[in-house]
Amino acid sequence: MRNWLAGILAIILGLIVIAFPFLTTVTVSIFAGLLVLMIAIWLFIVGISEFGISKTSSILNIILGIIAFILGIGLIVNPALFSFLAGITLYLAGIFLIITGIIALLDGMTRKYAWAGILGIVLGIIYIILGAYAFNPVNLGILIGLWLIITGIFKMFEEV
């Protein structure tokens, strides 16, 4: 019963996200920015508190805190940055999947596991295609909505 409820909620949320994709992307970007700002504050605190123990660690934490602070502000102010980061992440994941797929395919020819290589290459190509769409905040919102709907459907048929 709990899986059905979670599935139905995910489907409803997915439909809402598809209906308002830009608003969803802006909201997710702001929340991500706030979380990154919290990480930045934590890095500053850790950097300052460790200054007496390890100056190198302290300085690195403060530098990471500055980078996280700039990224957090950027995510809050500009939702297109979130789409850009999502697109880059999907591109990189796709490239890694294709490379590991080729390696598995070459290695699998002798071990009867060529299907793992083919699957890696196919998934890598799909990730790269999705990455191209994710650069647009509206398309990213639609992709998130579709993911929620598909997850909701699978959740409804999942056994406890």
Render pLDDT for 75-128 as a digit per residue (tens, 0 to 9).
Answer: 888 878 878 887 888 888 888 888 888 887 777 666 666 777 788 888 888 888
Longest Cα–Cα distance in the chain: 57
CB 4 within 8 A of CB 156: yes
pLDDT one-digit tens code per residue, 17-70: 888 877 877 887 888 888 989 999 998 888 888 777 877 888 888 889 999 999
- Residue 69 pLDDT: 93
C-alpha–C-alpha distance, residues 101 and 116, integer Å: 7
Helix (H) or strand (E) holding 142: helix 137-156
**DSSP code of residue 99:** H
Structure tokens at 25: 């992307």
Phi-psi region at 136: left, alpha or beta (left = phi > 0; alpha = psi -120 to 50): beta
Integer Cα distance of 47 and 55 in angstroms: 9
d(CA 126, CA 13): 24
Tokens of residue 130, six digits = 């999705």
Inter-CA distances, 108 with 34, 56, 93, 118, 121, Å: 45, 45, 21, 10, 13
Using the 8-state DSSP alphabet, how is residue 51 labeled? T
The mean pLDDT of the chain is: 82
> Phi/psi at 4 (nearest 5 deg)?
-65, -45
Domain ranges of the chain: 2-156
Average pLDDT over residues 143-156: 81
Alpha carbon of residue 138 to chain centroid:
16
